[in-house]
Structures are given as structure tokens and as C-alpha cells.
Structure 1
Amino acid sequence: MENYGEYFKALRESKQLTLREVEKATYVSNAYLSQLESGKIKQPSPLTLHKLASFYGVSYEVLMEKVGYPVPQKEERLAKSGAAAYRIGEITEDEEVELLNYLKFIRSRKK
């Protein structure tokens, strides 16, 4: 993904979390998270990605793939997880970010 930072920001915002709240839960500094979201971190460590995947409730493999690490058997993994992308077909990275933004909007109305 060219600018995966937008994806990480959309994930965080879809859960209505601040950088400090993510830091507190994952022990990844908010400065690092900010740099990750702005695209300044070129290749985040797999350990950091694992922490964020667990916290955000997304697949570790998806985050690995987003930042450019090789991940085998993408289609099989999507089918097993019941992921929305598998059910609705392939979506672009921009569409995925927009879907996360829409989810943020929906969740904000529930409060």
C-alpha cells in the first residue's frame, strides 16, 4: 500500500480512539503511532503490527500485507475469516479507507 498510514488512522478513528488510548492499551508510543499514521515509518516491525492487529481486531496478515510484507494465500484467509471484502468482492485501498470512515460515522451516531 502506498500510504498505509491512512488505513491505520481510519482503523483507530473507526473505533473512536485517541493515539494516547491506543498507546495505553498496546504499549506502542503515541509518537510512533503518529508517525505510522503519517507515513513516516517506512517498515513497522511485525511485533508492532501484531500488537495493533490484536487491539484493533483485524487480521495480523492484513496489516502485514498493508505495509508490504509478503503474505501467502490471501484468498483462502479471507474466505475463512468471513471478511466483508470476501463477501462483497475486491475493493480498492481507497474504498477500504472510506468504508472505515463510514463505520466511524455510524458508530458516532450511536453515542
Structure 2
Amino acid sequence: MTQPSEADADALLAAMLAPPDRPGDRGFVQRIDRSIDAQAAYKRARGRFWRSFAFEALAAGALLAALWLLSSAPLLAPLAGPGEWKLASPLLLVLLLWLGTQRWRQA
């Protein structure tokens, strides 16, 4: 029995491991390309959302800080007692809902 040479073994392996001779799957490539484009668009939209959300949260926090500072001013302190803060949460909720509706109108 003769042993195959190294060149014959390499040729046999190359023939066994070669990709099949057929045309490429164009539909698969297009689906992958669309998926990559969709993921990139989603990533951009998500980034825009978080930037906008951070800005709106900062604005709401600034409004609350302004209300708090105004209520602690000596001139306005009698007008803004502890009972007046009960109105702050519904007013803030209305403000946040308004900001949310503005966001949905832009989309």
C-alpha cells in the first residue's frame, strides 16, 4: 500500500473544503443589508430620544428648582406655604404630559 503524498492530501482537502459552485443568495444578502440599515436607524433614533429625554428631564428639574427657590424667598414665603406644594405635583404632571404630546406630534 502506498501512502499519498502531502501534495495529494492537500489537493484532496482543498477539494473537500471548497465552497460549492453555485450563484450567491442575493435575497439573503439584501435581507442582511436591510437588517443592518434598520439597526443603524434604530440606534440613531434611540440616541436622539435619550438626548431629548435628558434635556426635558433637566428642564423639568429646573422648573421644580425654580418653584422651590421662589417659595423660599422671604417675599413669597407667606404665599407658598406647605399647603401650596400639593399643587406642584399635578402641575408638573400636566407639564410632562404636554411635553409628551409635543414629542408624539413631531414623530
Normalising by the smaller structure, the TM-score range is under 0.3
Write 1 or 2 for the structure with the bigger share of helix.
Answer: 2
TM normalised by structure 1 equals: 0.24
Larger C-alpha radius of gyration, 1 or 2?
2
The TM-score normalised by the length of structure 2 is 0.25
Higher relative contact order (CA 8 A, sep 6+): 1
